[in-house]
Chains A and B, each alone.
Chain A
Amino acid sequence: MSAVAQNQDNFSQIRTSREMGGITVLVKNLVKRFPGVTALDNVKFELRKGEIHALLGENGAGKTTFVKILYGIYVPDSGDVIVDGKKVTFTSPIDAIRHGISLVSQIPQIIGSLTIAENIILGLEKYGLMTKVRKIEDYIREESKEVGIRVDPNTEVWKLSYTQKQLVELLRAVILGAKVLMLDEAITFLPIREKRKFYKFMKKFVSQGGSVILITHKIPEALEAADRITVLRRGKYVGTIEAKNATIDTVRRMMFGERSAEITYERLPLSTPEDKVMLEVKDLWVMGDYGAFAVKGVKLQVRAGEIVGIAGVAGNGQLELIQAVMGLRKVRKGQVLLRTNGGLKDVTNKGTGVIRKIGVGYIPDEPLKFGVSMENNIEENLAMLPLIAQGFIKWSQMRDLAERLIKEFKVITPSSKTPVKLLSGGNLMKVLVGRELSVARKLLVAYNPTRALDEVTAIAVRKTIKNKVLKDRIAVLMVSEDLDEIFQVSDTIAVMNAGKIVGVFPAEKADRDQVEKLMVM
């Protein structure tokens, strides 16, 4: 039996044998506002004991804000949260933990420089501040077996792999007495084999009376794993349906509403690469943040008129590779070559300035941190680039450039002199993408270029990038944690796993299953 079928078999067993008991968590009229945006607008939600309840929505729907309120990280502006029949107000995660509610996010929350035991004891209230950490070590070892992880509790967390860290997060939730487990995209980026470990655990968990809120933006995953599905759209509650009655299309329509006609997972027109190599990476070795090599001998070529999309589970060296190519991280061994007018030039470790001057645009991971300066306005964020302004600034020129950008990307902003921090996340990304595309004469390097954008804008950005490749014949090296995006945009698909490139395929020949398998090995 294929792996997928085996999985579905496991879950159908869950659905029949579980006890669908009373309501554990009830949410009514939840409202949460942030400056400039209403994240949750009268949301309701009902979690039954013993169920796996998926919470779906596209980027910006409010799913993460919702669970953060349930976990006490945010305080709602109004509305009720009722746990086990009693109204509660959580003002910190400690409150939520006390009521048996735990959250596991996509990025592990445990602190790297502390040990597993130290991380866990921080949440165990029954132990006073002067308790010796050693006291809970044996207990941790016991529970580790239940969760399916085998690590010494005295290990510092930074030494663990991503999957191990997520499992430790689960372990922590169990030890802290979780009855409600909230997974916020916690397993979305795990390889299939590791996902199965989580599914196995979730099954056991709910069969023992717990409940799970599973946040994902992947509809198939929700249909596979959940009993019921609730959909949020732009902070509003759309509806709740039984998973067995749902199809991909019905759910998709709930998630996107009337705009679903614009959404397409179909591939954009392919571009035929030229023979000219614009970026070459030769046997690159790059060190990660914790003393181990993150990039282990990567070989890669990006040609003019080509989009190379790197697929892979987050944390396998893609980020370090991109940073090394851009001169933001030191290359220990190997070379990075860029095409200048005189041929391929070695730019290894020569610094970001040299690389950028050749005509390279960069859309970084974490754009708020690495892409723009929040305190400055759009014009200043343009003038910041040496590629755009040098010496004395002609502000009229900057204004013209800004206005051109605002028009082309339909950026919603009061003016070109508005501080960037007042823009919404999506509009900020548009400014960043627009700016980088305007300076990317030879090459564009991007990491998750459409993260935080709604689907419509994301498609528009992908189309713009593709057009630049088709028309201006630039080269694009793109890393994306969204496999759909990779398949939609790339001309060549590469797979990165454990610091190595484990497969390169021309896009029309790439097989989705094979790519996913290579991501896991």
Chain B
Amino acid sequence: MEPAVLALILGAGPAFATYYLTALGHGLFEKSGVLNLAIDGVFTLGVAVAYAAAVLGYNPNVGSLVAIIVAALFGLLIAFLSTKLPISHGAIGLSIMFVGYGMASLVGVPIRSQTPVMVTYPMSASFYAGLLVISVLIGIAVHLMLTKTKLGAAIRAAGENPHAASALGVNVLKVRLIAGGIGYALIGLGSALYVLAYTQSWAEGVGMGHGWIAFAVSLSAGRHPIATIIAAAIFAGLLNYRYVLQGYFGISPHITNMIPYIAALAAMVIFMVTPLHRKLAPPRALGKIYFKEERTV
């Protein structure tokens, strides 16, 4: 491969890993039938947590680990509330979004105000290559789990029709907890990589809105772990190289800031307009309140 092309791909490594892993985790969770609107809030919180923990622990891996754990806890909470109680998934998601935004500041600002030395992952080709490879491997593992194992069948069943799934023998709560825990662990990892590998700096509000980009990535790929690779690659490219656009074409930085969001919108439109959305249909029960003992006429 041409060294220039290789450099191009590797250069987008952190961006790709961030958006891919976040989108992958989001898609996995939604496949179990829970509408995940808290993604941006927990993502922003994960960013702040990763930053703070990395600084306090003098090690980026500490940052990643703590972010993963905190995010996973949120995932478990969301899965539990959405399944056990007849609550609108959207309401839970949005409230946690606000909580996430607010808590991110509470976590990060006290650390930041002491202007510590930033603790990040190395900016080396080998690390970036590692990110790319490991992300894709994780994605393949998730895909295999979903399509070949009983757990995958159970997760998909819970997303298609939790009542039928329960009658078939699925413990819907358990399965959604697993999907939420693993899914949000991935989101947590993605958010950690965002600050520790990609932006390499933190200030109040860093990360806000980027969870939604991952949301759009996942949606436009039909929540399919492998298709998401392509979508994430395109977005990573757009985001990583928007400064090129700025410099080369002299486009205002405000416009280039907009580009990933416009692209996200466009991606969702393209997905719904093409036959793609039928082949990669969303889980039928996505966002539906799961409550037994419904009346039937």
Q: Do chains A and B touch in the complex (CB under 8 A)?
A: yes
Tell me, yes or no, whether A252 is within 8 Å of chain B by CB.
no
Complex CA gap A134/B147 in Å reads 11
Tell me, yes or no, whether A123 is within 8 Å of chain B by CB.
yes
Render B170-205 as a binary contact track against A, CB cut-off 8 A, 1 for contact.
110000001000000000000000000000000000
Render B130-150 as a binary contact track against A, CB cut-off 8 A, 1 for contact.
000000000000000100111
Query: Is B293's CB under 8 angstroms from A132's CB?
Result: no
Q: Which of A42-50, A112-120, A437-445 contacts B (4 or more CB under 8 A)?
A: A112-120
A103-B167, A122-B170, A428-B297 given; A129·B156 CB < 8 A = no
Complex CA gap A127/B154 in Å reads 12
A114-B156, A428-B297 given; A129·B150 CB < 8 A = yes
Render A89-112 as a binary contact track against B, CB cut-off 8 A, 1 for contact.
000111001000001000001111
Query: Is A73's CB under 8 angstroms from B150's CB?
Result: no
Query: Is B169's CB under 8 angstroms from A125's CB?
Result: yes
Please name all residues of chain A whose beta carbon is closer than 8 Å to the beta carbon of B145 when the two chains form the complex. Answer: 130
Query: Is B160's CB under 8 angstroms from A109's CB?
Result: no
What is the count of residue pairs linking A and B with beta-carbon distances less than 8 angstroms? 94
Contact of B169 among A94, A133, A367 (CB under 8 A): A94
Summarize A's interface: helix, strand, loop or mixed.
loop
Query: Is B151's CB under 8 angstroms from A93's CB?
Result: no
Tell me, yes or no, whether A409 is within 8 Å of chain B by CB.
no
Query: Is B160's CB under 8 angstroms from A130's CB?
Result: no
Query: Is B154's CB under 8 angstroms from A112's CB?
Result: no
Complex CA gap A425/B164 in Å reads 23
Query: Is B149's CB under 8 angstroms from A130's CB?
Result: yes
Query: Is A111's CB under 8 angstroms from B165's CB?
Result: yes
Please name all residues of chain A whose beta carbon is closer than 8 Å to the beta carbon of B148 when the two chains form the complex. Answer: 132-134
Render B259-297 as a binary contact track against A, CB cut-off 8 A, 1 for contact.
000000000000000000000000010000000110111
Complex CA gap A104/B297 in Å reads 19
Complex CA gap A103/B168 in Å reads 10
Query: Is A122's CB under 8 angstroms from B295's CB?
Result: no
Query: Is A111's CB under 8 angstroms from B150's CB?
Result: no
Contact of A367 among B149, B292, B297 (CB under 8 A): B297
A129-B151, A129-B154, A429-B297 given; A123·B166 CB < 8 A = no
Tell me, yes or no, whether A510 is within 8 Å of chain B by CB.
no
CB distance from B163 to the nearest CB of A (A): 9
Query: Is B149's CB under 8 angstroms from A111's CB?
Result: no
A93-B166, A93-B168, A428-B297 given; A122·B160 CB < 8 A = no
Complex CA gap A133/B292 in Å reads 28
CB distance from B186 to the nearest CB of A (A): 18
Query: Is A368's CB under 8 angstroms from B296's CB?
Result: yes
Please name all residues of chain B whose beta carbon is closer than 8 Å to the beta carbon of A94 when the two chains form the complex. Answer: 169, 171
Query: Is A122's CB under 8 angstroms from B157's CB?
Result: yes
A73-B292, A110-B168, A114-B157 given; A130·B150 CB < 8 A = yes
Tell me, yes or no, whether A205 is within 8 Å of chain B by CB.
no
Complex CA gap A37/B38 in Å reads 39
Tell me, yes or no, whether B161 is within 8 Å of chain A by CB.
yes
Contact of A132 among B149, B154, B169 (CB under 8 A): B149
Query: Is B151's CB under 8 angstroms from A130's CB?
Result: yes
Tell me, yes or no, whether B239 is within 8 Å of chain A by CB.
no
A111-B161, A113-B156, A121-B153 given; A71·B167 CB < 8 A = yes
Query: Is A92's CB under 8 angstroms from B171's CB?
Result: yes
Tell me, yes or no, whether A141 is within 8 Å of chain B by CB.
no
CB distance from A481 to the nearest CB of B (A): 14
Contact of B164 among A109, A134, A367 (CB under 8 A): A109
Query: Is B149's CB under 8 angstroms from A129's CB?
Result: yes
Please name all residues of chain B whose beta carbon is closer than 8 Å to the beta carbon of A92 when the two chains form the complex. Answer: 166, 171
Residue of B whose beta carbon sits closest to that of A123: B169
Complex CA gap A367/B295 in Å reads 12
Q: Told that A111-B157, A129-B151, A367-B297 touch, could you supply 7 new A-B pairs with CB distance under 8 A?
A: A74-B293, A93-B168, A109-B164, A113-B284, A114-B160, A125-B169, A131-B149
Q: Top 4 closest A-B pairs, CB basis?
A: A123-B169, A118-B153, A129-B151, A452-B297
